A = this chain, B = another copy of it.
Amino acid sequence: MHRLDAKGIDENAVATISEIAARAGVSVATVSRTFSHPHLVRSKTRDKVRAAIDEFGYRPNAIARNLRRQRTETVIVIVPQIQNTFFSGIIHGIEAVAHDRGYKVLLGETRGDQVRIDHYADLISTRTAEGLILLGSLLPTAVRSAMRDGAPLPIPLVLACERFEGLACPTVAIDNVAASKTAVAHLVAQGCKRIAMISGPKGNTLSEDRLAGYRAALAEAGLPRDPACEAHGDFSIETGHAAMRALLALVERPDGLFCASDEMAMGAREAIRAAGLRVPQDIAIVGFDDIRFAAFMEPPLTTMRQPAKEIGETAMQLMIDHLEGDPAACPHRVFASDLIVRQSTLR
């Protein structure tokens, strides 16, 4: 299939190493060495091999090489949804480092589906990929049971942007508690007295951390905490919109809002507009992530910037260190996140 054309001469199929060896009048070992360890081959011999290769178009078969070397130099990146701008920023960073270091990136999208995540994690057991970079808050079943049993991790794993209690593996993230505290303190400084939050899904460490930061900031400012002001979404525009409508229905309307993602802030902003209220005069908003579109909202959105690309780059770097270096090492990289102040909080 797709290998032989009508004349039986294969234009596409690459010659094998033994054909090249025969054409060049050397052994397969020499051809192999010409690629992998050229310094072991006399330059005259190399030229013979190169000539044969130029003539017959040899490209070494990566599958055979992988089998022999027991390596694929491939990592799989599991992401809840590729369309999320923050995640695609991380993937951008991952791909950059992977490419530079000669690794390949397999992409798996989960959409919150445990079956899909396990399917992709299985690619490690079957040796299709060597390691797993996890962007979401869902863990493969195999990892979960290892955690429960206190067993070592069954697969090389790096967490980007999420952390799990009791899971010892390389992690890169920001300090979500501190970041949220800063964000909410900014709202306090702008004079907000009743600050609501739309966080991520319950039970998700990242969401809990951001919620904790929010609460800490309120406490520090001496503002009362009202459970009715704590809403949850799934980081999407739609859930931000819905959550804000609920918050607007409260008898005591909030005058400040902190969202755990810019997308939710976008949805919330729309709900506020629909209610005939103004941002920031009636309600000031702080988002999270600083996605590309935050600066182009109306008004431009104040937000906690996460260095998505750097997070991705670091995650891939940690993965390579893990695969090529000491697999017992378990570094944690924490990035700073900056508050980007724009008009949505300036009143």
Query: Do the beta carbons of B72 and A82 come within 8 Å of each other?
Result: no
- Decide if A109 is an interface residue (CB 8 Å cutoff): yes
**Residues of B with C-beta under 8 A to A67:** 61, 63-64, 67
Contacts of A81 in B (CB 8 A): 92
Given A59-B122, A104-B123, A154-B12, the answer on whether A296 and B64 have CB atoms closer than 8 Å is no
B95→A82 contact, CB < 8 A: yes
Question: Cβ of B82 and Cβ of A92 under 8 Å apart?
Answer: yes
Q: Write the A71-89 contact mask toward B (1 if CB under 8 angstroms, else 0).
A: 0101001000111010011
Offer 7 A-B interface pairs, CB within 8 angstroms, sorted by A. Answer: A11-B154, A62-B128, A63-B72, A63-B127, A82-B82, A82-B95, A83-B89
Known A106-B104, A126-B61, A126-B62; judge A116-B99 contact (CB<8 A): yes
Q: This chain: how many copies in the complex? A: 2
Chain A contact residues: helix, strand, loop or mixed:
mixed
Q: Which of chain B's residues have a CB closer than 8 A to the CB of A292? A: 83, 237
Question: CB of A252 within 8 A of chain B?
Answer: no
A119 within 8 A of B: yes
Q: Provide the residues of chain B in CB contact with A112, threshold 8 Å.
A: none
Query: Contact at A99–B119, with CB atoms within 8 Å?
Result: yes
The verdict on A246 contacting chain B, using a C-beta distance below 8 Å, is no
- Nearest B-chain residue to A95, judged by Cβ: B109
Does residue A40 face the partner (Cβ distance < 8 Å to B)?
no
Complex Cα–Cα for A337 and B251 (A)? 44
Min Cβ gap A55→B in Å is: 16
The CA of A107 and the CA of B106, in the complex, are separated in Å by: 6
Which B residue sits closest to A73, measured CB to CB? B128
Closest 3 CB pairs of A and B: A298-B298, A62-B126, A59-B125
- Find out whether the CB atom of B107 lies under 8 angstroms from the CB atom of A95: yes
A298 to B298, CA, bound (A): 6
Check: A5 CB closer than 8 A to any chain B CB. yes
Binds B, one of A168-176, A253-261, A265-273: A265-273
A156 at the interface (CB under 8 A from B): yes
Known contacts being A61-B126, A67-B67, A95-B107, is A83 close to B72, with CB within 8 Å? no
Min distance, Cβ A221 to any Cβ of chain B, angstroms: 30
Using Cβ atoms and an 8 Å threshold, which residues of chain B touch A327? 1-2
Residue contact B298 to A63, C-beta cutoff 8 Å: no
User: Given A2-B156, A83-B85, A105-B106, list of 11 further CB < 8 A pairs?
Assistant: A1-B327, A59-B127, A63-B128, A64-B67, A82-B82, A83-B92, A83-B292, A91-B107, A95-B108, A105-B108, A266-B293
Q: Is A60 an interface residue (CB 8 A)?
A: yes
Report the separation of the CA atoms of residues A85 and B324 in the bound assembly, to the nearest whole angstrom: 34
Beta-carbon contact of B92 and A60 below 8 Å:
no
Chain B contacts of A22 at CB under 8 A? Answer: none
Q: Which residues of B contact A154 (CB under 8 A)?
A: 11-12
Residues of B within 8 A of A297 (CB): 296, 298
Interface 1/0s, chain A 92-112, versus B by CB < 8 A?
A: 100110010000111111000
